[in-house]
Structures are given as C-alpha cells and as structure tokens.
Amino acid sequence: MILSPSLFNSDLYFIKETLDKLDLLGITHLHIDVMDNHYVPNLGFNAGFVSNLKSHTNFILDCHLMVEKPESTILDFIEAKPDIITFHYEATVHHSFIINKIKNSNIKVGLAINPSTSVEQIKMLLPFIDLILVMTVNPGQKNEFFLPFTLQKIEQLNLERKERNYHYDIQVDGNITDQTISPCVKAGANNIVSGGFIFNNNDIQNNIEKLKVAIN
C-alpha cells in the first residue's frame, strides 16, 4: 500500500521541515499537483519545482497534470524527470502520443479520470499505463465531498486488472480521510493520495497514523 501526501496542501514556508518529517515517517512517494487555472480553477506547481525536488530529495515523485492539452507541456515535465507523470483523459484527444512520449523517457505513465468519466471510456488504454488515478472529487474545486459512486469504478478497474493480468496501480485522490480511505482500499485501491487530511493543523505524524490504522 502506497501513501502519497499531496504537497499542495502543505505549508510551503516550512517545506524543508515537512519533507524531513515525511522521510522520517517512512513516506516514500510525494504527489505533486500541477494546475493551470484553465482545466481546473486553481494554480499549482510547475516543472521547475518538480526538478528541484528530484535534485534534492530521494522521494518517488508522482506528478499529476491537471492542465489543458498536456501534450503542449509534456516535454517540460519529462525534462524534470519525475518518476510518474499522470495526465487527465478528459484534457486531451492525443492519449497515445502522450503515453508514448512518457514511456519512451523511462518514466511511468498514469491516466487520471474525473468522477463523470466511466471505465468503459478508457478500457482501450489500460494495457499501456502504469497507474490509473480515480478522482473521488471534482478536481481543483474547494471543499468538495467524497463521491461514493466512484468506488464502483475502483472495483471495475480492480476486476479488469485481475482478469486481464494488468499491472497498473489504482490510485485515489480527493478528500481522502480516515473515514473514506477504508472503502477505497476495500474496493481495490493500492495507492492513496491525501493532502488536506495529512497536513491538517500541521499534525502530520498523528494524521498519517490515523490513515494507517484505518487501512488496517
């Protein structure tokens, strides 16, 4: 089970202290939100930030592109050399082009789907990806509630993975708390993104422990 804190929700003034604390707590993955204020109504990190993290830390960097037409910026993020680049199915029509660009750079490729996107729409791409990100809220929006119907998609993806011997991780992102994490894991998710909950009140250690207890 992978727990991937979303740095967008952390206090960036204390970024060095935060990263040191996460390392001591055994966290190996970081989720980096990239937002363009077009595809989603917010701004997030850029390729330069990803590159700096790669140079100065040993975390596995999971770069989540919430941007329109990711094919126009994908080379910038490939140059930053994260370990995983995830783009949104709904943000482009050039899925195969982006997948091949990422894979040919020896970077794992992830595909994100919004709550309204069905598993049927992406089935033809599943053999080619390393990670499928199921958004459990509408991306980029504030104070969104966890959407329980997304659990059905996790179950479908888990079934596809087993029946066809696929090897992708199933990641969830969106209001993941000690209350919502367990249903996601039971449905088949094995890669958990949490930001607002982990960094709430800067009580990182206690909040991570709550998530681990809820998983078990």
Half-sphere exposure for 193 (CA within 13 Å, toward CB) = 29
Q: Say if strands 60-66 and 191-194 run parallel, antiparallel, or are unpaired.
A: unpaired
Q: Which residue bears the tokens 């997030």?
A: 44
Which residue of the set 33, 36, 62, 130 is catalytic?
33
- Cβ-contact 71, 98 below 8 angstroms: yes
- Cβ-contact 139, 133 below 8 angstroms: no
Which residue of the set 36, 62, 169, 173 is catalytic?
173
Q: Say if strands 191-194 and 169-173 run parallel, antiparallel, or are unpaired.
A: parallel
Task: Kindly give the residue spans of alpha helices, DSSP state H, lying in the chain.
Answer: 15-24, 47-56, 74-80, 95-103, 119-122, 150-164, 181-187, 204-215
Could you give the C-alpha distances from 54 to 2, 10, 35, 47, in angstroms and in order? 19, 18, 19, 11
Q: Is 20 a catalytic residue?
A: no
Q: Is 33 a catalytic residue?
A: yes
Positions marked active-site: 33, 173
